[in-house]
């Protein structure tokens, strides 16, 4: 819906804040202009003829790079002015100023605003305060674009735009917003989609409607609040003690103002000699005033001559070269630094062509550059190489040039950037080496800032998460990459590293692609000076390594023939059971010793292969009967032991009889011979009073000996009396 607000300069907050007397001086010189969308008020390098006070329009300060990309430095609306360089004593702007929201503004000529600022009144105070607020906005924009996500940048931009207009609708395409923020259009599309999905905005064909401003403010980063606070402070400053207002001389409007005053007053016609004398007196006084005015002019000319000499010295001894060339490239004028740079005498101007100092490979570039400046009547810049002289080696220089008013002369500033180029080359080379090192590192490597946002990653990291480039995850956090529980744990770990300064090494089992995989991760703080500014880490998949370790542990603990625990591993379990019994003596623990009867004769008559087969058969029977809490091990050639926690000797005897009966029923044929197998078993109870864990094995072995003595294929419990000597037969 179009605005019905009547045009008025006081819609601008700076003009509205002026005292009545100051505003009255400006009112006649304020000129209202209507500015359409996309109107370019200034380009970089333009001389400023006007200062604009927006009332209903919004203006963006944009910086453009050589490759055509751009980014918004700040925006101005009815809370400020456009033309800050004039306020700060400059005459040209270093950036582009373009209308991003159509509307009205009032403008003042540069000489008028200059005079008003020299008076040191309220206008000067407000303009300087606004300059500070504008610099705050620029600085915060740089911080925001560098450290905050695109959706946070978009929230900040929408809120600042909303503050400068009526209503809740912003007419701006995503492409233009991307140009303002200096990001890809796809990033703005994604960010706008998130805000729309959250119910904060509605977007349709270049029209953005804010539906939930509080929600948008909550989603925005702190940058918006910082800028908003600075602008509010600007208009709550206490008024300064200002001098009384005085009339502003303005030769451009003097005749107009005099005519207006003449029409407002009726000059009397002299009617008497007295009137004639009075008129003569007035003319004489006016003559004296003119003479005094001439004295002031002479004084001003003297000051101008002194300033001219001063600036001539500045020109001559400036650290950069200044040149004026004619249409043929002949040097008409140059300063001392320029003469030293070319290795020529200043007296040679008018007889020396600038191209004579240029390396042949750069001649065509300079020729086209010189012609473009004069033919197109525009500011241009280029980089060329100067040939070596006796005083210096060849040098890379940057030239910025503008034509004179008639486009017959080319005025150039020439800056030696050889050292800068070399430093840039070295930096790029070092970055290339570092990137090659990171991308060829066999692990995933990353760098995060204090907020756990990714600053850099290597190729293995990007590939692991399915990104097409290493730039894709920049600015994101773990919450954008992995499940919330893993992201929360990683974020907490980062904060702990930053607060403690300690390095971290962890191994985690993570589900990836539907499989459980092990990852080993190292993290440490990044310290600049004495401040921790982020974290660095690398991670690798160690699933194969963990499996090998598991297999090695199994091999170290298992008898290779029977797949039961080996003697050492069984004794470790025995020690654990003994330690548990020391803590809780009421829990019974039983141990069995088992020995295959007449096993030696099987080896002697049928061979060791048959004996090994019998051992595997027996261990299989034993393993099938074990409970999960039981441990069985091979402790000798044909000797086995079973550890049974929470089992008294009576229950152990039931288990042993089951094993004995099952073994006794075995009958297998080996080399056409029928072979049977029996087992003798001895049982003992572990006691907390035992001197050591192995005592129970001695008791169980004594019971085993008793079972063999009684005829084998038996189960015997620990006896109170000393066991008889063992027989000679096995």
Phi, psi of 631 (to 5 degrees): -130, 125
Q: How many CB atoms lie within 10 A of CB 423?
A: 11
* Among the listed residues 227, 201, 228, the one whose alpha carbon sits nearest the alpha carbon of residue 214: 201
User: What is the structure's pLDDT at 545?
Assistant: 74
Q: Read off the tokens for 471.
A: 């730039």
Q: Read off the tokens for 465.
A: 């998460």
Are 597 and 710 in contact by the 8 Å Cβ rule? The answer is no
User: What is the structure's pLDDT at 325?
Assistant: 94
User: What is the structure's pLDDT at 699?
Assistant: 93
SS3 string of 214-260?
HHHHHHCCHHHHHHHHHHHHHCCCCCCCCCCCCCCCCHHHHHHHHHH
Q: Which CATH superfamily is domain 9-148+221-234 in?
A: Jelly Rolls (2.60.120.10)
Distance CA 101, CA 77 (A): 9
Torsional sign, CA 477, 483, 488, 493 = negative
Distance CA 596, CA 614 (A): 9
- Helix, strand, coil: what percent of the chain each, to 5? 45, 25, 30
Contacts of 238 by beta carbon, 8 Å cutoff, 6+ apart: none
Helices (H), 343-413: 363-376
User: What is the structure's pLDDT at 106?
Assistant: 95
Strand partners for 387: none
Are 445 and 461 in contact by the 8 Å Cβ rule? The answer is yes
User: What is the structure's pLDDT at 193?
Assistant: 81
Distance CA 35, CA 495 (A): 50
* Among the listed residues 58, 62, 81, the one whose alpha carbon sits nearest the alpha carbon of residue 166: 58
Are 309 and 327 in contact by the 8 Å Cβ rule? The answer is no
User: What is the structure's pLDDT at 269?
Assistant: 56
Are 372 and 401 in contact by the 8 Å Cβ rule? The answer is no
SS3 string of 289-304?
HHHHHHHHHHHHHHHH
Torsional sign, CA 611, 612, 617, 620 = positive
Q: How many CB atoms lie within 10 A of CB 508?
A: 14
User: What is the structure's pLDDT at 363?
Assistant: 94
* Among the listed residues 22, 25, 177, 8, the one whose alpha carbon sits nearest the alpha carbon of residue 78: 8
Instruction: Burial-class residue 46 by CB neighbours within 10 Å (0-12, 13-18, 19+).
Output: middle
Q: Read off the tokens for 391.
A: 């005083």
Fold of 321-416: Beta-Lactamase (3.30.450)
Q: Read off the tokens for 373.
A: 């400046």
DSSP letters, 603-657, are HHHH-HHHHHHHHHHHHHHHHHH--TT-EEEE-SSSEEEEEEET--HHHHHHHHH
Q: Where are the beta strands (DSSP E) in 571-619?
A: 589-596
Q: What is the dihedral of CA 188, 189, 192, 196, to 10 degrees?
A: 180
Instruction: Burial-class residue 245 by CB neighbours within 10 Å (0-12, 13-18, 19+).
Output: middle
In CATH, the number for domain 558-717 is: 3.30.70.270
Which residues in the chain show pLDDT less than 50? 1-3, 238, 240-246, 720-730
**Which H or E element spans position 100?**
strand 96-101
Phi, psi of 463 (to 5 degrees): -65, -40
Distance CA 129, CA 88 (A): 11
User: What is the structure's pLDDT at 388?
Assistant: 92
Strand partners for 679: 596
User: What is the structure's pLDDT at 108?
Assistant: 92
Query: What confidence tens digit (pLDDT) does each residue in 499-516 have?
Result: 898 888 888 777 776 778
Are 33 and 39 in contact by the 8 Å Cβ rule? The answer is no
Identify the residue whose tokens are 């001098």: 243
Torsional sign, CA 283, 286, 292, 296 = negative
Distance CA 58, CA 157 (A): 12
pTM listed for this prediction: 0.36
Distances (CA, A) of 598 to 481, 603, 636, 639, 679: 66, 9, 15, 12, 9
Q: How many CA atoms lie within 13 A of 173 on its CB side?
A: 8
Strand partners for 410: 325, 403
Distance CA 26, CA 7 (A): 16
| Angle in degrees, 0-180, between the axes of helices 222-234 and 150-163, rounded to the nearest 10 | 20
Q: What is the dihedral of CA 684, 685, 686, 692, to 10 degrees?
A: -30
Fold of 423-545: Beta-Lactamase (3.30.450)
Distance CA 203, CA 272 (A): 81
Distance CA 525, CA 534 (A): 6
Distance CA 187, CA 193 (A): 10
User: What is the structure's pLDDT at 247?
Assistant: 52
């Amino acid at each position: 819906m179009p605005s019905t607000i009547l045009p008025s300069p006081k819609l601008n907050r700076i003009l509205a804040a002026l005292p009545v007397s100051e505003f009255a001086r400006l009112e006649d010189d304020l000129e209202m202009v209507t500015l359409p969308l996309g109107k370019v008020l200034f380009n970089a390098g333009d001389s400023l003829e006007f200062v604009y006070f927006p009332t209903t329009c919004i203006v963006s300060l944009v910086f453009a790079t050589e490759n055509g990309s751009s980014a918004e430095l700040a925006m101005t609306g009815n809370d400020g002015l456009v033309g800050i360089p004039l306020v700060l004593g400059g005459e040209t702007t270093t950036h582009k100023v373009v209308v991003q929201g159509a509307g009205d503004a009032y403008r003042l000529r540069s000489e008028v605003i200059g005079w008003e600022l020299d008076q040191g009144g309220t206008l000067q105070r407000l303009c300087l305060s606004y300059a500070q607020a504008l610099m705050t906005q620029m600085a915060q924009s740089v911080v925001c674009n560098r450290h905050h996500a695109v959706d946070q940048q978009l929230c900040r931009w929408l809120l600042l735009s909303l503050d400068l207009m009526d209503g809740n609708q912003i007419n701006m395409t995503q492409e233009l917003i991307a140009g303002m923020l200096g990001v890809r259009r796809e990033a703005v599309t994604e960010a706008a989609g998130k805000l729309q999905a959250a119910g904060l905005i509605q977007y349709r064909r270049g029209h953005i409607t804010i539906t939930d401003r509080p929600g948008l403010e909550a989603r925005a980063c702190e940058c918006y609040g910082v800028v908003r606070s600075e602008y509010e402070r600007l208009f709550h400053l206490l008024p300064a003690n200002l001098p009384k207002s005085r009339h502003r001389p303005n030769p451009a409007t003097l005749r107009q103002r005099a005519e207006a005053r003449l029409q407002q007053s009726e000059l009397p016609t002299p009617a008497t000699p007295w009137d004639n004398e009075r008129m003569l007196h007035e003319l004489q006084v006016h003559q004296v005033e003119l003479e005094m005015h001439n004295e002031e002019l002479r004084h001003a000319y003297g000051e101008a001559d002194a300033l001219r000499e001063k600036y001539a010295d500045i020109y001559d001894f400036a650290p950069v070269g200044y040149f004026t060339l004619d249409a043929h490239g002949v040097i008409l004028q140059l300063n001392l630094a320029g003469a030293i740079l070319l290795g020529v005498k200043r007296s040679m101007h008018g007889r020396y062509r600038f191209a004579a100092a240029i390396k042949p490979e750069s001649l065509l570039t300079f020729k086209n550059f010189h012609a473009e400046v004069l033919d197109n009547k525009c500011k241009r810049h280029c980089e060329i190489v100067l040939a070596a002289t006796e005083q210096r080696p060849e040098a890379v220089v940057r030239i910025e040039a503008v034509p004179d008013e008639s486009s017959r002369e080319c005025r150039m500033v020439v800056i030696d950037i050889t050292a800068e180029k070399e430093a840039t080359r070295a930096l790029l080379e070092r970055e290339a080496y570092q990137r090659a090192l990171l991308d060829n590192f066999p692990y995933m490597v990353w760098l995060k800032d204090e907020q756990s946002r990714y600053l850099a990653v290597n190729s293995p990291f990007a590939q692991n998460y399915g990104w097409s480039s290493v730039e894709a995850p920049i600015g994101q956090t773990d919450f954008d990459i992995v499940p919330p529980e893993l992201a929360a744990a990683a974020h907490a770990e980062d904060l702990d590293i930053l607060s403690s300064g300690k390095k971290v090494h962890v191994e985690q089992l993570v589900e990836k692609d539907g499989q459980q995989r092990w990852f080993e991760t190292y993290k440490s703080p990044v310290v600049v000076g004495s401040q921790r500014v982020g974290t660095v880490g690398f991670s690798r998949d160690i699933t194969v390594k963990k499996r090998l370790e598991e297999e090695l542990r199994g091999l170290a603990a298992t008898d290779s023939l029977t797949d039961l625990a080996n003697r050492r591993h069984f004794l470790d379990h025995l020690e654990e059971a003994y330690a548990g019994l020391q803590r809780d003596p009421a829990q019974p623990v039983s141990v069995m010793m088992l020995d295959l009867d007449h096993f030696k004769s099987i080896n002697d008559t049928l061979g060791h292969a048959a004996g090994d087969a019998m051992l595997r058969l027996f261990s299989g029977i034993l393993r099938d009967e074990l409970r999960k809490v039981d441990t069985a091990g091979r402790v000798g050639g044909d000797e086995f032991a079973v550890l049974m926690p929470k089992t008294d000797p009576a229950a152990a005897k039931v288990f042993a009889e089951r094993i004995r009966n099952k073994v006794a029923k075995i009958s297998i044929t080996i080399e056409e011979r029928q072979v049977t197998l029996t087992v003798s078993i001895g049982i003992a109870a572990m006691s907390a009073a035992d001197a050591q864990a192995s005592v129970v094995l001695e008791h169980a072995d004594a019971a085993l000996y008793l079972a063999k003595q009684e005829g084998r294929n038996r189960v015997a419990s620990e006896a109170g009396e000393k066991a008889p000597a063992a027989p000679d037969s096995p």
